[in-house]
Amino acid sequence: MKPWAKKFYRSAAWQKARQAYIIKRYGLCERCGQPGVIVHHKIYLTPKNINNPSIALNDKNFELLCKDCHNKEHFEKYSATRKGFAFDSSGNLIHR
């Protein structure tokens, strides 16, 4: 968690919104159907928008994700490789 977001994620307003959304989505990841554990913000929170309730607390901006889908959202999106690509033993990017 980023230092500037700690206060928000510990707030009663976030905890209430998060729990209500998990119940609304029956606790299931909206991408794969596994148990959801992370209420993800579709519009990523930033220091500029974290205090805007229409972004930070609006369930239209939420998506319930399992840990794997959340990691794919944040890490695969910005990875040096994408699905179908890899590095060979010489460090060259190749299509699989």
What average pLDDT does this structure show over 21-38? Answer: 97
What does the mean pLDDT of the chain come to? 88
Grade residue 95 by pLDDT with cuts at 50, 70 and 90. confident
Q: Which of 8, 24, 25 is nearest to 66 (CA)?
A: 25
What average pLDDT does this structure show over 31-57? Answer: 96
Q: Name the residue with higher pLDDT: 84 or 18.
A: 18
Domain boundaries, the chain: 3-80
Structure tokens at 38: 């992370």
Residue 50 contacts residue 11 (beta carbons within 8 Å): no
Residue 83 contacts residue 38 (beta carbons within 8 Å): no
Residue 61 DSSP class: G
The structure tokens 């980023």 sit at: 2
Alpha helix segments (H runs only) across the chain? 6-9, 12-24, 53-56, 67-71
Q: Architecture of domain 3-80 in CATH?
A: 3-Layer(aba) Sandwich (3.40)
| pLDDT value at residue 4 | 95
| pLDDT value at residue 6 | 95
